[in-house]
Structure 1
Amino acid sequence: MTDHSIKGKTVIIAGGAKNLGGLIARDFAKHGAKAIAIHYNSAATKADADATVAAVKDAGAKAVAFQANLTTAGAMEKLFTDAVAAVGRPDIAINTVGKVLKKPMVEISESEYDEMTAVNAKAAFFFLKEAGRHVNDNGKICTLVTSLLGAFTPFYAAYAGTKAPVEHYIRAASKEFGARGISVTAIGPGPMDTPFFYPAEGADAVAYHKSAAALSGFSKTGLTDISDIVPWIRLLVSEGWWMTGQTILVNGGYTTK
């Protein structure tokens, strides 16, 4: 019988240094992961990556950090190659990489659009490609998208629009990798209480988002807390493996499809 627990598994997390990615790393270590490869984007995040590595080691798992800008296929391939050399082939691959832009379509430049596409769509595609090449049979792959995929809203065309292709990527990957017992999913959190959220929003928008979800009154900030997303990811890459090729919006009743 296939073991679908976290215990004893090797994990790679793109964007694993801080915020949601960092909490996933810590949580999986506490649930018995054997080794975790933690990716971070730039030198500005190195201290966070080092702190997450230390926390994972304190929980009893092996941990190694890797810095890379993942907007090229070569960088993604190198990340997986280096991670495999350091901790072994992953059983679980999680991609939390993303970039937010809130701006009217008529004001978005070509360079801004290209950057959003590179971070949100291109990196996700090549993450899935390399995960498909390196994840062990009966492994699990999960990618972060956004609950705005279920919204009628202005100003997020470049953000939600460049996350939207990931839904098809995971459907295709679930079919292509399914013969090896690999499940592939995406989770779309609602607006999360992290430092990435607030710079893109004005005071009125922050107030709206804090009251928009059905369960907002039961959240300490009114927003999605990263601690409420981690259990869903843990489920999908463990006992919830039978769910595959699906995007789940986890947002306290903020948007739906």
Structure 2
Amino acid sequence: MTNNGDRVAIVTGGSGAIGSISAGRLAADGFAVVVHHGGGRERADEVVAAIRAGGGRAVTAGGDVADETAMAALFDVAEREFGGVDVLVHTAGIMPLAPVAQMDLDAFDRVQRVNVRGTFVVDQLAARRLRAGGAIINLSTSITRLQTPTYGAYAASKGAVEAMSLILARELRGRDITVNAVAPGPTATPLFFEGKSQELVEAIAAANPMGRLGSAEDTAEVIAFLAGPARWVNGQVLHVNGGAA
């Protein structure tokens, strides 16, 4: 395996909370980073600027994660700018919430397109194009264990992400590429806070054995571990939730 100074990571959803923090963490570890966005170009540019200001290497690239042509172009950017791809960190996803009985089916279809097809598209490209010694890191959720009401469509999509991750790990036998899923619990991000009262947020934090919400940094720490030294962790779902479940 090459040292991190020669390694290249693509972070999808790099304009989001977990994606942006993870991109910065990987850059600090020596990776060149392609910071992907699905529409948040301004925030992605800020992430890249911060990485470059710290002496790191990074570029921005956009595109729909469920569009195979756009994502092939994303991998092309990494190869053109930095010479190849070693790590895919797939954080891009959406999370509309509603009880199963009330969920709009168009919204359900959108969740599956972005979260399931999007994961399949980028993982397929990574399986074809990552260099030996690489890592594919998908984002799942601890909701698959917590089974919280209103999360049915989202949990269904992330259950599919976990299944794909574990199967792909075994399909890549002999390639020296690890595949794992990271499953955060309640995490203090804008996506989490949306639509929640302060009282509910405090109750969720108090219910955790650690007495707080997770942070994007907590998840980025595990992503950096899987992207770097964790070569014997493969085909696993790592729950990063402070012991919530």
When the two structures are superposed, what TM-score results if normalisation uses the length of structure 1?
Answer: 0.90
2:37 alignment partner, one of 15, 36, 40 = 40
Residue number in structure 2 paired with 1:152: 147
What's the CA shift for 1:82?
2.9
1:235 alignment partner, one of 225, 230, 233 = 225
Aligned-pair identity in percent equals 29
Partners in 2 of 1:204 and 1:155 — Cα distance? 18
Partners in 2 of 1:163 and 1:48 — Cα distance? 25
Residue number in structure 2 paired with 1:183: 178
Report Cα offsets for 1:44-103 as digits up to 9, x if no partner: x22211111111112222211011121222222222223322222111110011111221
- State which drifts further: 222-231 or 244-253: 222-231
Contact kept in structure 1, 2:8 and 2:87, CA below 8 Å: yes
Residue number in structure 1 paired with 2:93: 98
Residue number in structure 2 paired with 1:17: 15
Partners in 2 of 1:96 and 1:191 — Cα distance? 15
Residue number in structure 1 paired with 2:234: 244
2:4 alignment partner, one of 6, 23, 30 = 6
Partners in 2 of 1:116 and 1:18 — Cα distance? 17
Partner SS state of residue 117, structure 1: helix
The alignment status of 1:108 with 2:106, answered yes or no, reads no
Partners in 1 of 2:141 and 2:78 — Cα distance? 27
Partners in 1 of 2:151 and 2:159 — Cα distance? 12
1:143 alignment partner, one of 135, 138, 144 = 138
AA aligned to 2:38 is: N
What's the CA shift for 1:203?
4.5
Alpha-carbon RMSD across the aligned residues, in angstroms, is: 1.5
Residue number in structure 1 paired with 2:70: 75
Contact kept in structure 2, 1:102 and 1:200, CA below 8 Å: no
2:51 alignment partner, one of 40, 50, 56 = 56
AA aligned to 2:78 is: A
Contact kept in structure 2, 1:100 and 1:200, CA below 8 Å: no
Report Cα offsets for 1:213-255 as digits up to 9, x if no partner: 1102xxxxx2111111111111111111211111111100112
Partners in 2 of 1:196 and 1:50 — Cα distance? 20
AA aligned to 1:15 is: G
Q: From the superposition, tell whether residues 108 and 18 of structure 1 become closer, same or farther in structure 2 (CA, over 3 Å).
A: closer
Partners in 2 of 1:209 and 1:122 — Cα distance? 31
Partner SS state of residue 105, structure 1: coil
Residue number in structure 2 paired with 1:219: none
Partners in 2 of 1:8 and 1:59 — Cα distance? 17
Instruction: Show structure 2 runs of 5+ residues with no match.
Output: none
Partner SS state of residue 4, structure 2: coil
What's the CA shift for 1:201?
2.9
When the two structures are superposed, what TM-score results if normalisation uses the length of structure 2?
Answer: 0.94
Q: From the superposition, tell whether residues 41 and 201 of structure 1 become closer, same or farther in structure 2 (CA, over 3 Å).
A: same
Instruction: Show structure 1 runs of 5+ residues with no match.
Output: 217-221
Q: From the superposition, tell whether residues 201 and 71 of structure 1 become closer, same or farther in structure 2 (CA, over 3 Å).
A: farther
What's the CA shift for 1:159?
0.7
AA aligned to 1:177 is: L
Report Cα offsets for 1:178-209 as digits up to 9, x if no partner: 31100001101111111111114344532332
Moved over 4 A (4+): none
Contact kept in structure 2, 1:18 and 1:52, CA below 8 Å: no
